[in-house]
C-alpha cells in the first residue's frame, strides 16, 4: 500500500462520512434536538461537501489510480451535494410526521451522496461497482425505513430484489470486459476498444450492453423503468 497518497483528495467524502456519523450521534445522545433541526444539520453537511469539492476545480490528478480528480469530478460532487441538500430539506416534514428516528435517515442520505460521488469519480469498473453498491444499499434502507408501513416494506423488498438482479448483470458485464481487455481501468479498456477483430468487438459490445442494462435497472432509465 502506498502511504504517500494524497488523502486530502477525498476531503468531500470525509465530510459526508463524518457528518453522517455526527447526525446519528446527535439524534442518539441529544434528544432535545428536534427532527426538523436534524434536517438542517444534514443539509449543511451535504452543502459543506459540495463547497469542499470546489477546492479541486481546474485540478487534474488521481487517487491510487482508482479515482480521478478533475473538473468533471468537481461538477458531479457539487451536483450530488446539492441533491443531498434538497433531499434532506424536502423530506423534513415526512420524517417529522412519519418516522420515529431521524438521525439514521439523514445519515443514509449523506452516505448515498458519498456513494454517488465516488462512482462519478471512479476511473475503473470495480471502484464504480463498489460505489454504486454503497449508493444502492443506502437507498434500499431508505426505501423501507418506515418499518411499520406495509407499502414501505414492500417497496424496500422489491427494490432490493431488483437491485440484486441488476448488480448481477452489471458484474457479469464487468467480467466479460475484463476477460477481453485484461483490465478494469477505463483508459485501458478504451485502448482495447481499438482492436479490430470481430470476436473481440462482439464480446466487448456484450459486456458494455450488460453494464448499461445493469445501470439502467438501477436508476430506472428508459426502457428499463417498465420493470421497476
**What is the mean pLDDT for each group of 10 consecutive residues in the chain (228 residues)?**
70 94 87 78 94 86 86 93 95 84 90 94 92 91 83 86 90 90 86 63 85 83 66
The 8-class DSSP code of residue 122 comes to B
Asked whether 63 and 5 are in contact (CB, 8 A), the reply is yes
What does the pLDDT read at residue 6? 76
Tell which residue, 15, 88, 9, 96, has the closest CA to residue 55.
9
Quick one: which of 53, 47, 85, 83 has its CA closest to 71?
53
ω into residue 66 within 30 of 0, thus cis? no
pLDDT at residue number 228: 60
Closest Cα partner for 91 from 49, 142, 39?
Answer: 39
Question: For residue 146, what pLDDT is reported?
Answer: 79
pTM (two decimals): 0.88
pLDDT at 189: 84
Amino acid at each position: 500500500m502506498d502511504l504517500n497518497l494524497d488523502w486530502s483528495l477525498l476531503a468531500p467524502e470525509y465530510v459526508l462520512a463524518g457528518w453522517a456519523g455526527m447526525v446519528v450521534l446527535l439524534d442518539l445522545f441529544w434528544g432535545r434536538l428536534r427532527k426538523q433541526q436534524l434536517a438542517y444539520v444534514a443539509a449543511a453537511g451535504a452543502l459543506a461537501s459540495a463547497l469542499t469539492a470546489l477546492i479541486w476545480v481546474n485540478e487534474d490528478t488521481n487517487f491510487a489510480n482508482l479515482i480521478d480528480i478533475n473538473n468533471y469530478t468537481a461538477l458531479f460532487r457539487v451536483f450530488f451535494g446539492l441533491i443531498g441538500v434538497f433531499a434532506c430539506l424536502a423530506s423534513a416534514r415526512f420524517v417529522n410526521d412519519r418516522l420515529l428516528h431521524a438521525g439514521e435517515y439523514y445519515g443514509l442520505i449523506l452516505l448515498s451522496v458519498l456513494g454517488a460521488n465516488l462512482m462519478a469519480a471512479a476511473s475503473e469498473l470495480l471502484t464504480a461497482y463498489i460505489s454504486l453498491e454503497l449508493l444502492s444499499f443506502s437507498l434500499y434502507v431508505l426505501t423501507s425505513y418506515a418499518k411499520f408501513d406495509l407499502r414501505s416494506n414492500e417497496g424496500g423488498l422489491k427494490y432490493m430484489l431488483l437491485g440484486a438482479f441488476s448488480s448481477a448483470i452489471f458484474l457479469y458485464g464487468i467480467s466479460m470486459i475484463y476477460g477481453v481487455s485484461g483490465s478494469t481501468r477505463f483508459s485501458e479498456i478504451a485502448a482495447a476498444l481499438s482492436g479490430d477483430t470481430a470476436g473481440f468487438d462482439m464480446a466487448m459490445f456484450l459486456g458494455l450492453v450488460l453494464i448499461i442494462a445493469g445501470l439502467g435497472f438501477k436508476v430506472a432509465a428508459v426502457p428499463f423503468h417498465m420493470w421497476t
